[in-house]
Amino acid sequence: MKKSVPFAAVLVLVLSFALPVSAQMSPTAVVLTVNEQPVYSWEVGLLIPQIQQEMARQGMQPEQEMVVQASMQRVVDSKLLAQEAKRLKMQPNDERVKQTMAQIEKQAGGRAKLDEALAQLGMTYALLEASVIESDLVQVFIETTIDPQIAVSPEEVAAYYSEHPEMFQQPEQVHARHILMTAGADATEATKAAAQAKAVAARKRALAGEDFATLAIEVSEGPSAPQGGDLGFFGRQQMVAPFANAAFALEAGGISEVVETQFGYHVIKVEEKRPAKTMSLDEVREPLTEMMRQNQGGEATTKVLEKLAEAATIAQVAQGAAAPVAAGGE
């Protein structure tokens, strides 16, 4: 079982989505029971954005039903591990729970705004906190019972590196900044023309010698504007084709023509270029060790889950009956 995205980060995505599994289903509808503990529609919906992101990173474009089923399975796994943690008398890390709740409140814009957003989704602060506590119990279980089993030796890391050379090929990369004048695919011709004109004006200022980062902070409409338009290093496949083609055609210090993409109109400056290379063992040792630890941890957790699932009673509720939820989620 891979370590999940931090709960607070997931919630930021969730607050932009409708949580129920279907438009006709109440957030408090019961969709499953795990050892008689109900699984609610909002719990499954909570994970849907995360599952979608994970699948997208793997190049998958699954049907919604597949995403929902994967979300349900993730919730069932979490319930089983949390139930086992309770059986073993484990306790959540109270300080970590408090920090997570504080982070969620901060990212939501304060407690009042969080309560308002949750109310719109048919949820409450108590339900959210119960979910955070359950998530932390799973983490405590893994830290206590799984992590101590994991041991990856330097020899194993070196052997893996030697046996999988294709994994350590680093393609050509560029470090670039950009100025973006937004105009989405559905923008009117007038909006596109105005955005293009602003991009042309920004390019003229950059070519005249104004500092590109300062200019990006001032005029760019993209999310990287506060960082001076800095996109860091990226490979050709990480960007949409028109942007990548323009960026990789430039030399270090070069400024592009205005480039149109589905996001709008860009002016690109390349700060640095890195040629393709094979990364050395020393360069990848730390992340490779962590990857191998996570793989071992995932395999160990899967074995625990298989045993727990064999002994569990898991039932799907056909229509998803609405039910009151205790603050503890049980």
Instruction: Determine the pLDDT at residue 329.
Output: 40
Name the residue among 43, 65, 49 with its Cα closest to residue 13.
49
What is residue 51's predicted lDDT score, i.e. its pLDDT? 85
pLDDT of residue 43: 86
> Could you read off the pLDDT tens digit of each residue along the chain, which spans 330 residues?
444 444 444 444 444 444 455 555 677 788 889 999 999 888 888 788 888 888 887 878 778 888 888 989 999 999 999 999 999 999 999 999 999 999 989 888 899 998 988 887 778 899 889 989 999 999 999 999 999 999 999 999 999 999 999 999 989 999 999 999 999 878 899 999 999 999 999 999 999 999 999 999 999 999 999 999 999 999 999 999 999 999 999 999 999 999 999 999 999 999 999 999 999 999 999 999 999 999 999 999 999 999 999 999 999 886 544 444 333 344
Considering all CA atoms of the chain, what is the largest pairwise distance in Å, rounded to the nearest integer?
72
pLDDT for 24: 56
| Residue of 230, 232, 229 lying closest to 173 (CA atoms) | 232
Residue indicated by tokens 């160990």: 300
Tokens representing residue 95 in the block? 């300080």
Give the pLDDT of residue 221: 96
